[in-house]
Amino acid sequence: MTTTLITGANKGLGFETARRLVDAGHTVYLGSRDPERGRTAAERLGARSLALDVTDDESVAAAAKTVEAGGGLDVLVNNAGAEGRTPEGNVIPAAEVTAGMMRGLFETNVFGIVRVTNAFLPLLRRSAAPVVVNLSSGLASLERMATPGTPAHAYPGIAYPASKTAVNMITVQYAKQLPAMRINAVDPGYTATDLNHNTGSLTVEQGAEVIVRMARIGADGPSGGYFDAEGPLPW
Ligand SMILES: NC(=O)c1ccc[n+]([C@@H]2O[C@H](COP(=O)([O-])OP(=O)(O)OC[C@H]3O[C@@H](n4cnc5c(N)ncnc54)[C@H](OP(=O)(O)O)[C@@H]3O)[C@@H](O)[C@H]2O)c1
């Protein structure tokens, strides 16, 4: 029996990933910073609701205690994230972003992953086949962002891509230091969710494909990689 935690799973890609992993037979902890939204979502799927705000040490520590008491953890999907658009849904260009905006985004997308991963590492170490999946983005790729003509090249913001490039680095460093675990970064592709005001071209079913695949990877699978549904991506 595989036990999986997905952060930020009350909606969007995290919810779809939870749905698919419940179907695949995993015991799923559906993480949500809002307990009520989490309970409602978990009830729909037959998952276990877990209150978890990735920016809050106490919330993360309490969640780790609950999962430990429930029997431990095999798979951690660090999915919770934000893009930091304006309320109207516009990407904030480089010249208009503030350090404060960037700090807030990094708190969730980057420091949140470190906070959650380190809190759950003791549980993952006890698993026979521990797996970590970190939600990156195609916008994390320095090669793509620097190549004229690619969709990534046209993206004007800096906070979100920089946070996801940091996620890639974190993934590489954890993977090297924890060789017993499969730890990978994934890009779901441009998916219609609240994050991008539903402007994405993929459905959540399509976007969740690579997340689910990497969450179910075997002990002989890759680690320290960066993948989308088609395969490895350029860093
Ligand atoms: N959609 C895309 O095109 C795309 C592309 C590449 C990568 N991604 C990544 O995929 C992941 C999921 O995004 P999505 O598109 O599914 O967006 P979404 O529908 O907006 O879902 C984001 C989830 O993260 C949660 N969250 C935000 N801050 C949190 C916090 N401090 N603690 C716990 N949960 C928090 C949200 O909770 P609330 O409901 O409480 O806000 C929500 O459940 C993100 O990491 C995103 O960067 C998305």
- How do residues 102-137 score in pLDDT, each as one tens digit? 999 999 999 999 999 999 999 999 999 999 999 999
Q: Do 188 and 13 touch, CB atoms closer than 8 A?
A: yes
- pLDDT averaged over every residue in the chain: 97
The atom of ligand 1 lying closest to the CA of 59 is 32
- Annotation marks residue 11 as catalytic: no
Task: Read off the pLDDT of each residue in 191-215 and give the average, rounded to a whole number.
Answer: 97
CA of 109 to the centre of ligand 1 (A): 9
Query: Domain 3-232 is in which class?
Result: alpha beta
Q: Look up 190 and say whether it is catalytic.
A: no
pLDDT at 151: 87
Supply the residue whose CA is at minimum distance from atom 2 of ligand 1. Answer: 191
pLDDT tens digits, one per residue of 50-75: 999 999 999 999 999 999 999 999 99
Q: Which of 11, 65, 155, 160 is catalytic?
A: 160
Q: 171, 224 in Cβ contact below 8 A?
A: yes
DSSP state of 27: E
% of the chain with per-residue pLDDT over 70 = 100
Going by C-alpha positions, the residue among 88, 114, 82 that lies closest to residue 101 is 82
Q: Of 11, 29, 164, 226, which is the active-site residue?
A: 164
Q: Residue 80 Cα, ligand 1 centroid: separation in angstroms? A: 5
Kindly report whether the global pTM for this prediction surpasses the value 0.75.
yes
Q: Which of 116, 120, 233 is nearest to 186 (CA)?
A: 233
Strand-pairing partners, residue 75, are 4, 131
- Which atom number of ligand 1 is nearest to the Cα of residue 192? 1
- Interacting residues of 159 by C-beta distance below 8 A, sequence separation 6+: 84, 92, 97, 101, 102, 105, 106
Rounded Cα–Cα distance for residues 232 and 144 (Å) = 13
- 204 CB under 6 A from ligand 1? no
Every domain of the chain and the residues it spans: 3-232
DSSP 168-189: HHHHHHHHHH-TTSEEEEE---
Q: What is the pLDDT of residues 20-33, one digit of tens each?
A: 999 999 999 999 99
Secondary structure class of 202 (helix, strand, coil) = strand
- The predicted model gives 149-169 an average pLDDT of 96
Q: In what order do the strands lie in the sheet with 131-135?
A: 48-51, 27-32, 3-6, 75-78, 131-135, 182-186, 226-228, 231-232
Query: How much is the pLDDT for 42?
Result: 98
Residue 181 has pLDDT above 90, yes or no: yes
Ligand 1, atom 45, lies closest to the CA of 81
Average pLDDT over residues 4-11: 98
Q: For residue 27, report the phi and psi dihedrals to the nearest 5 degrees.
A: -80, 115
What pLDDT is attached to residue 97?
A: 96
Nearest CA to ligand 1 atom 6: 137
